Amino acid sequence: MKFEDIRGSYDLMVGLGSWCGPSLHLRRHNLRKFSFPLDWVISNSLPDVSRLLKNRFQGFMELKNMRWTEGYAHFLDDGDAIFPPGGGTEPVNAHFIEDTYSNIVSVHDFPVIPNQDWKVLYPSYKEKLNHRINRFLEKLSNSSSILFIRWGVTNPTEAMELKSVLSEMVPGRFNILILNPVQELKGVIPMDWGIDGIASIQVPLDNPNDNRVWDYALQGLTLTDKWK
């Protein structure tokens, strides 16, 4: 599928990682209506994402499989930074918590609170996550057209596996847009893998949050009023 063929109107647009970029920039372009379970996590392995989707998120982020890992990011509420309740100019930090079952890392959900273990907030986090999962599955089942966006896929076979899994979940029409970061690339290069329903573009690696890159990727896309 050629990149220009991805343009058009969709009932739903969904970010599938591998980081927050797809969700952040969909929101910046007013193309995002809902929070979904893969919006604010690191999911470097597409096969693991496909496995998770195939299993309808069963076993995802269960406490027995979660562990603290090195790294910190800002504590976010659906992409918006949270500041200390007593005031301050710096957002609250959040722990990196890895789900060893899915190899996916929560980076914005567990705030760093002095003298408090991250597990204290697990019940409220899991309740929010389950709500996002249920919403995700419901919207996929009831949308006539969906665009999925994924950052970082170099293997067409992995992309085809993702398409196969999604075809079992989505009764309507769907396409997949892939942004592939490439070292030392200066511009954006549309690719054609010759796979129906999958469009790919190569993008510079050095600045993944470059608005110009995302503006190019999301040009010509609109939402229907299905989920007004």
**pLDDT 10s digits, 157-193:** 999 999 999 999 999 999 999 999 999 999 999 999 9
Residue 121 lies in a domain: yes
**What average pLDDT does this structure show over 22-45?**
96
**Of 98, 91, 79, nearest to 26 (Cα)?**
79
Among 85, 104, 133, the domain-final residue is 133
168 lies in which domain range?
3-57+135-223
Residue 228 lies in a domain: no
**Of 93, 129, 128, nearest to 108 (Cα)?**
93
Instruction: Let me know whether 140 and 199 are in one domain.
Output: yes
pLDDT tens, residue by residue, 3-15: 999 999 999 999 9
DSSP state of 31: -
pLDDT tens, residue by residue, 75-109: 988 888 999 887 778 899 999 999 999 999 999 99
Instruction: Let me know whether 147 and 218 are in one domain.
Output: yes
Instruction: Let me know whether 160 and 218 are in one domain.
Output: yes
Instruction: Let me know whether 203 and 141 are in one domain.
Output: yes
pTM of the model: 0.96
Distance CA 189, CA 2 (A): 11
Instruction: Let me know whether 21 and 92 are in one domain.
Output: no
Instruction: Let me know whether 14 and 46 are in one domain.
Output: yes
Is pLDDT at 117 greater than 80 in this prediction? yes
The pLDDT mean for the chain works out to 95
Instruction: Let me know whether 165 and 129 are in one domain.
Output: no
Instruction: Let me know whether 72 and 52 are in one domain.
Output: no
Distance CA 206, CA 183 (A): 7
Residue 95 lies in a domain: yes
pLDDT tens, residue by residue, 144-160: 999 999 999 989 999 99
Burial of 117 (0-12, 13-18, 19+ CB in 10 A): exposed
Instruction: Let me know whether 147 and 216 are in one domain.
Output: yes
pLDDT given for residue 225 in this prediction = 96
**Of 199, 163, 150, 167, nearest to 5 (Cα)?**
199
- CA torsion 34-35-37-38 (nearest 10°) is 90
Residues 100, 84: contact at Cβ < 8 Å? no
- Those residues with Cβ within 8 angstroms of residue 224's Cβ, 6 or more apart along the chain or in another chain: 9, 10, 11, 145
Residues 79, 27: contact at Cβ < 8 Å? yes
Among 92, 118, 133, the domain-final residue is 133
Residue 211 lies in a domain: yes
CB neighbours (10 Å) of residue 34? 15
Instruction: Let me know whether 168 and 218 are in one domain.
Output: yes
Instruction: Let me know whether 149 and 48 are in one domain.
Output: yes
Could you give the number of structural domains in the chain? 2
pLDDT tens, residue by residue, 192-212: 999 999 999 999 999 999 999
